[in-house]
Amino acid sequence: MSESVRTHRRWFALYTASNHEKMVEQRLLTKDLEVFLPLHSVIRRWKNRTTVKVDRPLFSGYVFAKIALNETVKVLSVPRVFSIVGNGREPLPLPDAEIEALRAGLSTENAIPWPNVKVGTRARINCGPLAGLEGIVVRTDGQFRIVISVNMISRSVAIHVSAEDMEICGEREVQ
């Protein structure tokens, strides 16, 4: 493997201990790495009837980091980082465009975690910061949502999209 491939930074999904994603993010930042931890807000009501807004990871158990292959030891030495997602033999990078679209889109859209969907109709988002991304159309709360999956980590998010802002690009998925 050439030295330039080993030193070129790409986005990777890091598998972490659940409920420790924010701590992992902070530790990676102290190592001068670019990190992306998408969050969503939930309202929690405690036993003492106090209601608070809590930011939770959108993809439980995962943090995204832009690293070079020669930095894997530095990343894996962070407590609660179990592995770098890959094919079992080597870490596999995520498409830069996918991470950048998620970063841009999630800053303006209210996304919620969603089970990884295997059925439904494939659709492409036509406009807005998530334009070009494809996902599965579902209907919740009387609204259309497109479930966008990050297949490498088997996680998905549902984004509200009006019918006129999407186009069908395939038949129903089969299980």
Say which CATH architecture domain 105-173 belongs to.
Roll (2.30)
pLDDT for 8-47, tens place per residue?
899 999 999 999 999 999 999 999 999 999 998 888 888 8
Average pLDDT over residues 50-64: 92
pLDDT exceeds 50 at position 50: yes
* Model confidence, pTM: 0.73
Task: State both tokens at 127.
Answer: 């406009």
Task: State both tokens at 137.
Answer: 């159309």
pLDDT for 142-159, tens place per residue?
677 888 888 888 888 888
Q: Give the C-alpha distances (Å, rounded to integers) separating 37 from 44, 53, 79, 173.
A: 20, 18, 16, 29
Q: Which CATH number fits domain 3-94: 1.20.1250.20, 3.30.70.940, 3.30.930.10, 3.40.50.1100?
A: 3.30.70.940
